[in-house]
C-alpha cells in the first residue's frame, strides 16, 4: 500500500472494512478484529492511529509484528491469512495489516475442539465499524457458504409461508418472532430461516446488541 492510499483510508475513518488501533492492547483483542474481517468481507487494521484519525505511530514494529502473528496463528482456528506492512507517515511508523475475506470461514477463537461445535464456538463478524459476536444463524450461513453445499429439493411449506406472510406487513422477522407465529421450537425456527437464506430468499442482518433480523431479498 502506498502512502497516498493509506492517507485516504485514514481520512475516510473507521467503517466495515477499516479499524484503527492507537496501540496494541492484547493478542485476544486483535484476534477478534482480524477474525471479524476474515469472516466478513476482509479489511484493514492500522496500528498507530486513534479513533479521531490522529496519527501517533507505534513504539516497536517488532513487538507489534510478533503479537499480530500470535493473534492470527495461535488464537484463531483455522489460522488467518494476512499481509503486514510498515509505513512511515508524517514521521510516524504505522503497522498496516490487511486481512482478506476467508474461504475457510467461519474462523473461531481457538478452543482446541477436534470438530466445530456451534454451541461452544466463539465467532466474530464485522457490522458497520464494530466487530460483534456472530449468532448461531450467521455461523450456519457461513458454514453452508464455505462448504459449497447446494440446497436440494427445498420446498416452501406452511412455516415458510408464515415467514413471508409476516414480511408482507413488516420489514423484518426474527427467530423469536417465528417461534411465536408458527408455534415451533427456537431450533426449528432458526434452521428454517437459515435455509431460506441459503435458498436466496432472505437476507440476514446482524445486530450488535440485539437478535439478528431477517428480511426478504
Domains and CATH numbers, the chain: 3-133 (3.30.950.30), 142-216 (1.10.10.10)
pLDDT value of residue 150: 64
Residue whose C-alpha is closest to residue 145's, from 125, 119, 174: 125
Chunked in runs of 10, what are the mean pLDDT values of the chain (217 residues)? 93 95 87 96 95 89 86 96 94 95 94 91 94 93 79 83 96 96 95 91 89 94
- Residue 49's beta-bridge partner residues? 55
The answer to whether the beta carbons of residues 194 and 151 sit under 8 Å apart is no
Question: Grid coordinates representing 62?
Answer: 517488532
pLDDT for the residue numbered 11? 95
Full-model pTM = 0.87
**6 close to 89: Cβ distance less than 8 angstroms:** yes
Question: Which of 100, 101, 108, 115 is CA-nearest to residue 79?
Answer: 108
Q: Are strands 76-77 and 43-47 parallel, antiparallel or unpaired?
A: unpaired
The per-residue pLDDT for 149 is 66
**In this structure, are strands 108-109 and 76-77 parallel, antiparallel, or unpaired?**
antiparallel
pLDDT at 171: 96
Number of other CB atoms surrounding residue 97 within 10 Å: 25
Say which residues have a Cβ less than 8 Å from residue 60's Cβ, sequence separation at least 6. Answer: none
Q: What is the largest CA-CA distance in the chain?
A: 64
Amino acid at each position: 500500500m502506498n502512502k497516498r492510499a493509506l492517507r485516504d483510508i485514514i481520512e475516510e475513518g473507521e467503517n466495515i472494512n477499516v479499524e484503527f488501533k492507537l496501540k496494541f492492547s492484547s493478542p485476544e483483542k486483535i484476534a477478534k478484529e482480524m477474525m471479524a474481517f476474515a469472516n466478513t468481507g476482509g479489511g484493514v487494521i492500522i496500528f498507530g492511529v486513534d479513533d479521531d484519525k490522529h496519527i501517533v505511530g507505534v513504539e516497536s514494529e517488532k513487538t507489534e509484528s510478533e503479537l499480530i502473528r500470535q493473534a492470527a496463528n495461535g488464537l484463531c482456528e483455522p489460522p488467518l491469512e494476512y499481509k503486514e506492512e510498515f509505513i512511515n507517515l508524517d514521521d510516524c511508523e504505522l503497522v498496516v495489516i490487511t486481512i482478506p475475506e476467508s474461504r475457510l470461514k467461519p474462523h473461531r477463537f481457538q478452543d482446541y475442539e477436534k470438530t466445530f461445535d456451534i454451541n461452544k464456538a466463539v465467532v466474530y463478524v464485522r457490522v458497520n465499524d464494530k466487530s460483534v459476536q456472530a449468532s448461531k444463524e450467521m455461523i450456519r450461513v457461513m458454514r453452508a457458504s464455505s462448504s459449497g453445499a447446494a440446497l436440494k429439493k427445498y420446498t416452501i411449506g406452511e412455516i415458510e409461508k408464515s415467514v413471508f406472510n409476516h414480511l408482507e406487513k413488516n420489514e423484518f422477522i426474527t427467530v423469536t418472532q417465528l417461534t411465536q407465529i408458527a408455534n415451533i421450537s427456537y431450533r426449528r425456527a432458526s434452521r428454517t430461516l437459515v435455509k431460506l437464506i441459503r435458498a436466496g430468499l432472505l437476507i440476514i442482518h446482524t445486530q450488535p446488541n440485539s437478535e439478528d433480523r431477517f428480511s426478504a431479498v
